Copies of this chain bind each other. A is one copy, B any other.
Amino acid sequence: MTTVVKTNKKSCSCLSCELRELVFSSLDDEDINIVCEAREERAYARGEIIHREGDLIHDFKYLKTGLVKLYKSTNEGEEQIITITRPLEFVSNTNAFHEERYRYSLSALEDSVVCCVRIDLIRQLILRNGRFALNLISLLSKTSENIISLSLEIRQRNLAGRIAYVLLYFSNEIFKSRIFELPVSRKEIADLISMSSANVIRTFSEFRRDGIIKANGRTIEIADIQKLEVISRRG
């Protein structure tokens, strides 16, 4: 279950939080303390839903640790995965400033910790701290841009190209390693690249046969990165 981690108010941990630099770099110590007292850290186990589309937006949320997927449920009960991302991308917050409710659901692919600050407080900070506002605009833009860019990259490729791209994405962006534990099922990869899970699996098998990857369940090793890059480029 979700665990609420109590913040120790005596020594505000935000002051030295490694993430302060990225999100709250423009706040002075006084404002940081206000945020710190208002914030709430929530821990989610792998598989837990952080919020559902349609839920009211109360908080500005950012991922401190873990890995999450942002997705939308289609009419047919399928999931469309929009992005899979590490800290510090505010995946769920792009619409927090112009809508009342979440448009997309967010769930934890690994055990994750989310830091939550009431959205009203963030609004107040924007109102009185221009540097914070500018910083935030930049971060939100980057988040949206990443989502848009991913969708453009995916849609210009065929099945094999999409899988190659996704494998390189996990390897380069998410895990920074050629060997990694896939955080998603084959079905979820299918939901990310808009292909059928059967064909995703088939392509994995082909890549394995061709010596491009070594796959054992969710453990993936990229064996021939050049070949994979070629497939990703011309696919």
Enumerate chain A interface residues (CB-CB to B < 8 A): 72, 74-75, 78, 80, 82, 94-99, 103, 123, 126-131, 133-134, 136-142, 144-145, 147-149, 151-152, 155-156, 194, 233
Contact = CB atoms under 8 A, between A and B. Distances in A.
Most chain B CB within 10 A, of A94, A148, A149, A156, is at: A148
A149 B130 CA distance: 29
A133 B138 contact: no
24 contacts: A74-B156, A78-B156, A82-B152, A94-B141, A94-B148, A95-B141, A97-B137, A97-B138, A97-B141, A98-B142, A103-B149, A127-B130, A127-B134, A129-B130, A130-B130, A130-B133, A133-B137, A137-B137, A137-B140, A140-B141, A144-B147, A148-B148, A148-B151, A155-B194
A98 B145 CA distance: 10
A217 B133 CA distance: 48
A133 B123 CA distance: 10
A119 to B, nearest CB: 11
Contact of A134 (B75, B123, B142, B151): B123
A80 B140 contact: no
A147 B152 CA distance: 11
Contacts of A147: 144, 148
A225 B99 CA distance: 29
Contacts of A78: 156
Nearest to A147: B148
Contact of A141 (B98, B134, B145, B194): B98
A120 B139 CA distance: 18
A121 to B, nearest CB: 13
A94 B144 contact: yes
